[in-house]
Amino acid sequence: MEILLLGTIHLEETTDMVQLNKEARNKFDEEQFEILTDDLAFFQPEQIFVEYPYKMQEQLDAQYKDFSLNGRPLQRNEIYQIGFRLASKLGQKKIYAVDWNEEISGIKGLEAITDEQSVTALQKLLQKTTVKMQTVSSKIQTGNIVEFFKFINTAEQNLQDHQLYVDLMLLQDEVAFEWVANYWYYRNLKIVQNIRKSIEQGTQKAVIIYGAGHNYLLQQMLQDDPQITVTPYGEYTVQEIAHCSKKNL
């Protein structure tokens, strides 16, 4: 099975530690999202998985039906601007909710870190991440949505995003370690479990649309299955997608 992994910025404000400002999030308009989804459509995915709670599939189904049948305007979130738009282009009747993001008893958030040395180290890590987001924001200003998404989905960027969580584990702080090991890694494992449960029989190609910070672990965990190949969007050209699609006709 082939999976095309599209890591994305969040187009609406979230609870993430670091995120782009509103001006940067609103840089791309509907015309640009049409260009991006036209590009993704060359891959001809049979299923589209998105960062929406797995337990709320029926709600997502209702929203997509309302959009498809009644022409309801798309919300700003990437689930709709990219996921709904792509599914509609491909004539698909459904997109798949695969997220898990719940509280775990006994696991404290990073705000619970109180050790002075750890707090200082955490602030330095977040400053580094803020600098990275400034680079990402500058890339948005070029106005080329395909080039931008290619950039944030390169192996280098995926590794940089993942490095934050590695650095958190190395803080020598038990709160940080527990959060990364028992929340962040657990969450991504649950997402992969939900994806695996949602794969329909006979599906050969799928697209995953998720916050780019998940790219590294989702690719690694999915490819633990030798029957699954995951390619980040930054490593897949339109020509290659078209070529692969023709081979499957």
Output the pLDDT for position 18.
Answer: 56
Name, of 9-18, 136-145, 165-174, 236-245, the range with top average pLDDT.
165-174
Note the pLDDT tens digit of each residue in 197-220. 999 999 999 999 999 999 999 999
Inform me whether the pLDDT recorded for 225 exceeds 90. Answer: yes
Reported as a pLDDT band with limits 50, 70 and 90, residue 246 is very low
Output the pLDDT for position 72.
Answer: 75
Q: What is the dihedral of CA 236, 237, 238, 239, to 10 degrees?
A: -120
Output the pLDDT for position 185.
Answer: 98
Q: Which tokens go with 197?
A: 């449960």
Reported as a pLDDT band with limits 50, 70 and 90, residue 69 is confident
> What is the 8-class DSSP label of residue 215?
H
Whole-number Cα distances in Å, 207 to 12, 27, 42, 237: 21, 24, 11, 15
Inform me whether the pLDDT recorded for 239 exceeds 60. Answer: no
Average pLDDT over residues 141-157: 91
- Map out the domains of the chain as residue ranges: 2-247
Give the predicted TM-score (pTM) of the model.
0.90
Lowest mean pLDDT among 104-113, 189-198, 218-227, 236-245: 236-245
- What CA–CA distance (Å, rounded) separates 5 from 24? 22
Written as one string, the DSSP assignment of 116-182 is HHHHHHHHHHHHHHHHHHHHHHHHHTT--HHHHHHHHTSHHHHHHHHHHHHHHHTTS-HHHHHHIII
| 135 contacts 19 by C-beta, under 8 angstroms | no
| 34 contacts 85 by C-beta, under 8 angstroms | yes
Inform me whether the pLDDT recorded for 143 exceeds 60. Answer: yes
